[in-house]
Amino acid sequence: MTAAHVLPIIWTCIVGFTVLAYIVLDGFDLGLGILFAVERAPHDRDVMVNTVAPVWDGNETWLVLGGACLYAIFPVAYGTLLPALYPPLVAMLLALIFRGVAFEFRFKVHTQRLKGLWDFSFFAGSTVASATQGIMLGTVIQGIKVHDNQYSGGWFDWLTVFSLFCGLAVVIGYALLGACWLVWRTEGSLQARARRYAKPLAIITVALIVIVSLWTPELQRQYLRHWYVWPRMLYVAPVPLLVAWLVVVFWRSITDEAVHLTPLLCALGWFFLCFTGLGISIWPWIVPPSIDIWQASSPPSSQLFLLVGALVLIPIVLAYTGYAYWVFRGKIGHETHYH
Partner 1 sequence: MTALDLARSQFAFTVAFHILFPSFSIGLAAYLAVLEGLWLRSGKQVYLDLFQYWLKIFAIGFSMGVVSGIVMSYEFGTNWSQFAEKAGPVLGPMLAYEVMTAFFLEAGFLGVMLFGMNRVGRGLHFTATCLVSVGTLISMSWILASNSWMQTPQGYAIDPATGRFFPTDWLKIIFNPSFPYRLVHMGFAAFLSVALVVGATAAYHLLRDARRGKAATEAVRVMFSMAMWMIAVLAPLQILAGDTQGLNTLEYQPAKIAAIEGDWTTRGRAPEILFGIPNMATERTDYAVEVPLMGSLILTHSVAGKVPGLKDFAPADRPDSRVIFFTFRIMVGLGLAMVALGAFGVWLRWRGSFYENKWLQRFALCMAPAGFIALLCGWVTTEVGRQPYTVYGVLRTVDSVSPIALPGIATSMVVFVIVYFIVFGAGLAILLRMMGMEPRYGETGPDVHEPTRTAGTHPGPAQGSAVGQAGGAE
For residue 130, CA distances in Å to 32, 268, 338 come to 11, 16, 25
Q: In the complex, what is the shortest distance from the CB of residue 264 to partner 1, in angstroms, rounded to a whole number?
A: 20
Given the complex with partner 1, which of 76 and 137 has the nearer CB atom?
Answer: 76
Whether 287 and 144 have beta carbons less than 8 Å apart is answered as yes
State how beta strands 146-147 and 150-151 pair: antiparallel
Q: In the complex, what is the shortest distance from the CB of residue 295 to partner 1, in angstroms, rounded to a whole number?
A: 11
Q: What are phi and psi of 287, to 5 degrees?
A: -125, 90
Q: In the complex, what is the shortest distance from the CB of residue 98 to partner 1, in angstroms, rounded to a whole number?
A: 7
Q: How many CB atoms lie within 10 A of CB 319?
A: 9
Q: In the complex, what is the shortest distance from the CB of residue 42 to partner 1, in angstroms, rounded to a whole number?
A: 4
Whether 277 and 227 have beta carbons less than 8 Å apart is answered as no
Given the complex with partner 1, which of 3 and 224 has the nearer CB atom?
Answer: 3
Cα separation, 18 vs 66, whole angstroms: 6
Given the complex with partner 1, which of 107 and 215 has the nearer CB atom?
Answer: 107
Helix (H, G, I), strand (E, B) or coil at 287: strand
Q: In the complex, what is the shortest distance from the CB of residue 121 to partner 1, in angstroms, rounded to a whole number?
A: 8
Whether 26 and 174 have beta carbons less than 8 Å apart is answered as no
Residue 149, amino acid = N
Given the complex with partner 1, which of 234 and 319 has the nearer CB atom?
Answer: 319
Q: What are phi and psi of 259, to 5 degrees?
A: -100, 130
Q: In the complex, what is the shortest distance from the CB of residue 249 to partner 1, in angstroms, rounded to a whole number?
A: 31
Given the complex with partner 1, which of 81 and 243 has the nearer CB atom?
Answer: 81
Given the complex with partner 1, which of 20 and 273 has the nearer CB atom?
Answer: 20
Which residues lie below 8 Å from residue 317, measured CB to CB, with a gap of 6+? none
